[in-house]
Amino acid sequence: MHFDGRADKRRTYILLNGKEISVPNREFEILLHFAVQLKKDGEGWVHGEKFAPDSVWQNVSRLRKGLKPYLLDENSDFIENNGGGAYRLSIPPGNVTFDSDVLEAHWNRSFAELVKQIEPAAM
């Protein structure tokens, strides 16, 4: 999963398994939260209150449905839930990359703030 960061109105691009996908900005931000935490600690658990205080389940559900056609195995659960309100990407940290320059220049400043949390060597 590569966080390209190019904006197209209310959508932002990622590359997933070699396919370019534009994702609604809200869903992109959730994915970015998961990916940044995964890069920071190698586990990636993020409590839902951190990214969607009032609609966690709905946002994650939309994200899963939207990306399902681009997965190598459509039956895999690439977003895990720990039963306690936290979620994470269930992919190895080495499979996540970022275009930090593009993300830092994105009109949505929260994307830049998230990316700044990652050590440059982890990008």
Task: Tell me the pLDDT tens digit for each residue of 4-30.
Answer: 999 998 999 999 989 999 999 989 999
CATH of the domain at 6: 1.10.10
**Phi and psi torsions of 119, nearest 5°:** -65, 135
pLDDT tens-digit map of 67-103: 988 888 777 788 999 988 899 999 999 999 999 999 9
**% residues pLDDT > 70 (the chain):** 93
* Average pLDDT along the chain: 89
pLDDT 10s digits, 47-59:
988 877 677 788 8
Helix 25-41 with 56-67: angle, nearest 10 deg: 90
User: Mean pLDDT across the stretch 104-122?
Assistant: 84
**39 and 1 Cβ atoms separated by less than 8 Å:** no
- Domain of 17, in residue numbers: 2-122
CB of 25 closer than 8 Å to CB of 12: yes
Number of structural domains, the chain? Answer: 1
- Contacts of 45 by beta carbon, 8 Å cutoff, 6+ apart: 37, 82, 86, 87, 88
Q: Do 15 and 22 meet the contact criterion of CB atoms below 8 Å apart?
A: no
